[in-house]
C-alpha cells in the first residue's frame, strides 16, 4: 500500500510530457500526466484526493508552480481519473477545468456521482479511497465538444468524443508527439506484463455504461490519426499502437462472448470472472509472461472484478436483443 508522504514517481517522456504515478491502490496502476508548453502546464487526469499532494510535488520537481497550471483535464469522471479534480482546482488558481459535456454537471455538483460510486463500491471503500469530493465552480469549468482544439501555449490539443467505456469520455490528441491521452478507451496495459514481445493489453468494461460497439468504434477512431504513442491512465506510454489496437478489439469481442455464453448461468458473476481470468492468463502466457499464476492474479484481480460487474450490468440493460 502507498505511503502519502513518499516522493512522487515520475516518468519523463519526450515532448514535455511527464507521467506521475497517482498512488492509486498500487505502484504503476494509475497515472496522471503533466504536459508543458512554454509557460503553461496542463494536468491530464487528477487521480484521487490522495494524488493531489503528489501532483503538487511533481510540479515542483519540474520547476513549475500551481499558478502555471492553465488547464486541469479529466478524460472522464470515474474517480480514479477525476476524484481529485475539485481539490486540485483549489490549489491551481489560474486553471480552467476541461471536461466532457456529459461529465460537467457531475463535477460541478458531485453528489449524484458520489451516490452512484458508493452504490458500486460500498461506503467503506468509498470513504477510504475517495474521501470528500469537492465541487468545481461552474465559472471555472469549460465543456469541450467533440472536434474542438484548445491551445496550451502554442501547442494544439484536439478533443475527441470516445464513448464505449463510459458515455462521458473524451480522448486528447497531442499533435506535437502524435499521441493520444486515452483515459480508459484504449484499455489497460500494466508494465508488470511487458515482455520481449512488448506491452500486453486488455479492455476495461467498468459499470455502468460499457457499450462494446461504441468502444470498438472509439478505438478505431483513435487509430485514424495514425498515433505513434498512447498515453494510458493505466499505465503509462505505449507504442506499437497498431498491434495493440488489434489485440484490444479482439479482447473486447472475447469478453462479450464470455458474458453472452454465461448470461443464464447460475453464479453468473463467478463463472464470467473465472473465464475472464483463464482467457487473460492464456493470452498473457502466449505473450511470454512468466510470473506465477498467483502473481498474475494479483495484477489483474481488481480489473476482473470491475469488468465482470460491467459485463453483468450490460447483460441486464442492453436493449434490442433477448438476454
Ligand atoms: Zn473509467
Q: What pTM did the predictor assign?
A: 0.95
What is the SS3 assignment for 45?
A: coil
Within 10 Å of residue 149's Cβ, how many Cβ atoms? 11
Q: 170 near 159, Cβ under 8 Å?
A: yes
Helix axes 241-261, 293-317, angle to 10 degrees: 60
Residue 196 phi/psi, 5-degree rounding, is -60, -20
Ligand 1 centroid to Cα of residue 165, in Å, is 7
Q: 124 near 132, Cβ under 8 Å?
A: no
Ligand 1 centroid to Cα of residue 276, in Å, is 19
Ligand 1 centroid to Cα of residue 95, in Å, is 23
Ligand 1 centroid to Cα of residue 169, in Å, is 8
Ligand 1 centroid to Cα of residue 150, in Å, is 23
Ligand 1 centroid to Cα of residue 166, in Å, is 7
pLDDT at 323: 40
Ligand 1 centroid to Cα of residue 76, in Å, is 7
Ligand 1 centroid to Cα of residue 290, in Å, is 28
The whole-angstrom distance between residue 122's C-alpha and the CA centroid of its chain comes to: 21
> Which cell goes with 40?
503553461
The string of pLDDT tens digits covering residues 215-230 is 999 999 999 999 999 9
Work out the angle at residue 196's Cα, subtended by the Cα atoms of residues 194 and 199, and round it to the nearest 5 degrees.
Answer: 30
Residues forming beta bridges with residue 155, ordered by sequence position: 152
Ligand 1 centroid to Cα of residue 63, in Å, is 30
Cα separation, 165 vs 206, in Å, equals 7
> Which cell goes with 255?
469478453
Domains in the chain, start-ordered, CATH in brackets? 10-241 (3.60.15.10), 248-317 (no CATH)
Ligand 1 centroid to Cα of residue 111, in Å, is 18
* Location of C-alpha cell 478505431: 220
Residues forming beta bridges with residue 230, ordered by sequence position: 180, 238
Ligand 1 centroid to Cα of residue 236, in Å, is 15
Concatenating the DSSP letter of every residue in 51-104 gives GHHHHHHHHHHTT--GGGEEEEE-SS--HHHHTTHHHHHHH-TT-EEEE-TTTH
The string of pLDDT tens digits covering residues 37-88 is 999 999 999 999 999 999 999 999 999 999 999 999 999 999 999 999 999 9
Ligand 1 centroid to Cα of residue 185, in Å, is 8
**Where does the pLDDT of residue 320 fall: very low under 50, low under 70, confident under 90, or very high at 90 and above?**
low
Cα separation, 139 vs 144, in Å, equals 14
Position 237 pLDDT exceeds 60: yes
Ligand 1 centroid to Cα of residue 219, in Å, is 15
Ligand 1 centroid to Cα of residue 312, in Å, is 16
Amino acid at each position: 500500500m502507498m505511503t502519502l508522504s513518499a516522493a512522487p514517481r515520475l516518468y519523463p517522456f519526450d515532448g514535455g510530457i511527464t507521467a506521475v504515478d497517482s498512488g492509486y491502490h498500487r505502484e504503476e496502476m494509475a497515472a496522471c500526466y503533466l504536459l508543458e508548453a512554454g509557460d503553461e502546464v496542463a494536468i491530464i487526469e487528477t487521480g484521487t484526493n490522495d494524488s493531489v499532494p503528489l501532483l503538487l510535488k511533481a510540479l515542483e520537481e519540474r520547476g513549475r508552480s500551481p499558478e502555471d497550471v492553465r488547464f486541469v483535464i479529466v478524460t472522464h469522471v470515474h474517480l480514479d481519473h477525476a476524484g481529485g479534480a475539485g481539490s486540485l482546482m483549489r490549489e491551481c488558481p489560474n486553471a480552467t477545468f476541461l471536461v466532457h459535456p456529459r461529465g460537467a454537471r457531475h463535477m460541478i455538483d458531485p453528489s449524484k456521482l458520489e451516490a452512484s460510486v458508493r452504490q458500486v463500491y460500498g461506503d467503506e471503500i468509498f470513504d477510504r479511497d475517495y474521501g470528500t469530493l469537492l465541487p468545481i465552480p461552474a465559472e471555472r469549468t469549460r465543456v469541450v465538444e467533440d472536434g474542438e482544439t484548445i491551445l496550451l501555449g502554442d501547442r494544439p490539443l484536439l478533443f475527441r468524443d470516445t464513448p464505449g467505456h463510459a458515455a462521458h469520455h473524451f480522448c486528447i490528441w497531442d499533435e506535437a508527439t502524435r499521441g493520444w491521452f486515452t483515459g480508459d478507451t484504449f484499455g489497460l496495459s500494466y508494465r508488470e506484463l511487458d515482455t520481449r514481445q512488448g506491452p500486453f493489453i486488455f479492455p476495461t468494461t467498468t459499470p455502468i455504461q460499457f457499450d462494446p460497439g461504441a468502444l470498438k468504434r472509439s478505438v478505431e477512431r483513435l487509430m485514424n490519426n495514425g498515433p505513434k504513442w498512447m498515453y494510458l491512465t493505466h499505465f503509462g506510454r505505449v507504442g506499437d499502437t497498431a498491434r495493440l489496437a488489434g489485440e484490444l478489439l479482439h479482447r473486447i469481442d472475447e469478453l462479450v462472448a464470455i458474458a453472452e455464453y454465461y448470461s443464464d448461468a447460475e453464479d453468473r458473476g463467478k463463472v464470467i470472472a473465472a473465464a475472464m481470468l483463464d482467457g487473460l492468463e492464456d493470452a498473457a502466457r502466449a505473450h511470454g509472461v512468466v510470473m506465477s499464476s498467483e502473481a498474475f492474479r494479483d495484477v489483474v484481480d481488481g480489473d476482473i472484478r470491475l469488468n465482470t460487474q460491467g459485463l453483468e450490468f450490460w447483460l441486464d440493460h442492453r436493449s434490442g436483443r433477448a438476454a
